[in-house]
Amino acid sequence: MSDLHLVDMGNELAKEPTRKGFGRGLLKAGQIDENVVAACADLTGSTCMDSFAKEFPERFVQVGVAEQNLVTVGSGLAAQGKTPFVSSYAAFSPGRNWEQIRTTICLNNQPVNVVGSHAGISVGPDGATHQMLEDIALMRVLPNMVVVVPCDGPEAERATLALAKDDRPSYLRLAREASPIITTDKTPFEIGKAYVFSEGTDLTIISTGTMTAQAMIASEQLYKQGVEVEVVHVPTIKPLDKETILKSVRKTKKVITIEEGQVAGGLAGAVAELLAENYPAPMKRLGVHDRFGESGTPAELLEDFGLTAHHIKLAVHEFISQK
Amino acid sequence: MGDKTKTLTFKELKKQANDIRVSIIKMVEAAGSGHPGGSLGLADIFTALYFDVMNCDPKNPDWGERDILLLSNGHCVPVQYATMAHAGFFDTKELITLRKHKSRLQGHPERHALPGLENTSGPLGCGLSQACGMALAMRMNKQTNRYIYVVMGDGELDEGNVWEAAMLAPKYNLNNIIGIVDRNNIQIDGPTENIMPLGDLKQKWEAFGWNAVDIDGNNIEAVISAIDMAKAVKEKPTVLIARTTPGKGVSFMENDYHWHGVAPNADQAKVALDDLHELGAKIESEHE
Which chain B residue shows the shortest CA-CA distance from A83? B137
Provide the domain limits for residue B81.
10-285
Q: Angle A147-A148-A152 (CA atoms, 0-180°, nearest 5)? A: 160
Which chain B residue shows the shortest CA-CA distance from A68? B161
Domain final position from A128, A143, A178 = A178
Rounded to a whole number of angstroms, the distance from the CA of A72 to the nearest CA of chain B is 5
Does residue B4 lie within any of the structural domains?
Answer: no
Which chain B residue shows the shortest CA-CA distance from A70? B129
Domain count for chain B, please give it: 1
Once rounded to an integer, what is the mean pLDDT over residues A304-323? 95
Three-class DSSP labels, chain A: CHHHCCCCCCCCCCEECHHHHHHHHHHHHHHHCCCEEEEECCCCCCCCCHHHHHHCHHHEEECCCCHHHHHHHHHHHHHCCCEEEEEEECCCCCCCCHHHHHHHHHHCCCCCEEEEECECHHHCCCCHHHCECCHHHHHHCCCCCEEECCCCHHHHHHHHHHHHHCCCCEEEECCCCCEECCCCCCCCCCCCCCEEEECCCCEEEEECCCHHHHHHHHHHHHHHCCCCEEEEECCEEECCCHHHHHHHHHHHCCEEEEEEEECCCCHHHHHHHHHHHHCCCCEEEEEECCCCCCCCCHHHHHHHCCCCHHHHHHHHHHHHHCC
Q: Which residues in chain B are closer than 8 Å to A99, comparing Cβ atoms?
A: 123
If asked whether residues A239 and A314 sit together in one domain, one would say yes
Once rounded to an integer, what is the mean pLDDT over residues A153-173? 98
If asked whether residues A203 and A311 sit together in one domain, one would say yes
Once rounded to an integer, what is the mean pLDDT over residues B55-80? 97
If asked whether residues A249 and A126 sit together in one domain, one would say no
Choose the mutation target among B66, B164, B172 for the interface with A, i.e. most A CBs under 10 Å.
B164
Does residue A260 lie within any of the structural domains?
Answer: yes
Does residue A262 lie within any of the structural domains?
Answer: yes
Of B134, B161, B168, the CB nearest to A79: B134
Does residue A251 lie within any of the structural domains?
Answer: yes
Does residue A83 lie within any of the structural domains?
Answer: yes
Does residue B135 lie within any of the structural domains?
Answer: yes
Rounded to a whole number of angstroms, the distance from the CA of B182 to the nearest CA of chain A is 21
Whole-number percent of chain A with pLDDT over 90: 98
User: What confidence tier does A289 reach under pLDDT thresholds 50, 70, 90?
Assistant: very high
Residue B287: the pLDDT is 76
Once rounded to an integer, what is the mean pLDDT over residues B229-253? 97
Q: What is the CA radius of gyration of chain B?
A: 18
Q: Which residues in chain A are closer than 8 Å to B74, comparing Cβ atoms?
A: none
Provide the domain limits for residue A306.
195-321
Whole-number percent of chain B with pLDDT over 70: 98
Give per-residue pLDDT as tens, A45-103.
Answer: 999 999 999 999 999 999 999 999 999 999 999 999 999 999 999 999 999 999 999 99
If asked whether residues A145 and A30 sit together in one domain, one would say yes
| pLDDT at residue A310 is higher than 60 | yes
Contact in structure between B20 and B86 (CB atoms under 8 Å): yes
What Å distances lie between residue A18 and A25, A48, B261, CA to CA?
Answer: 11, 10, 48
CATH number, position B216: 3.40.50.970
Give per-residue pLDDT as tens, B30-58.
Answer: 999 999 999 999 999 999 999 999 999 99
Rounded to a whole number of angstroms, the distance from the CA of B192 to the nearest CA of chain A is 24
CB-CB under 8 Å, B130 with A104: yes
Number of A/B CB contacts below 8 angstroms equals 98
CB-CB under 8 Å, A99 with B132: no
Does residue B5 lie within any of the structural domains?
Answer: no
Which chain B residue shows the shortest CA-CA distance from A110? B119
Q: CB burial class (10 A; 0-12, 13-18, 19+) of residue A300?
A: middle
What is the Cα–Cα distance from A118 to A86, expressed in whole angstroms?
Answer: 14
| pLDDT at residue B4 is higher than 60 | no
Rounded to a whole number of angstroms, the distance from the CA of B184 to the nearest CA of chain A is 25
Average pLDDT of chain B to the nearest whole number: 96
CB-CB under 8 Å, B130 with A99: no
- Predicted complex ipTM: 0.94
Q: Which of A129, A145, A127 is CA-nearest to residue A137?
A: A145
Choose the mutation target among B168, B172, B177 for the interface with A, i.e. most A CBs under 10 Å.
B168
CATH number, position A281: 3.40.50.920
Residue type present at position B197: P
Residue B5: the pLDDT is 57
The residues of A annotated as belonging to the active site are: 67
Give per-residue pLDDT as tens, B88-140.
Answer: 999 999 999 999 999 999 999 999 999 999 999 999 999 999 999 999 999 99
Residue A323: the pLDDT is 64
Domain final position from A149, A178, A207 = A178
Once rounded to an integer, what is the mean pLDDT over residues B76-84? 98
Residue B1: the pLDDT is 38
CB-CB under 8 Å, B125 with A68: yes
Of A64, A73, A84, the CB nearest to B129: A73
CATH number, position A100: 3.40.50.970
Contact in structure between B154 and B181 (CB atoms under 8 Å): yes
Give per-residue pLDDT as tens, A94-104.
Answer: 999 999 999 99
How much is the pTM? 0.96
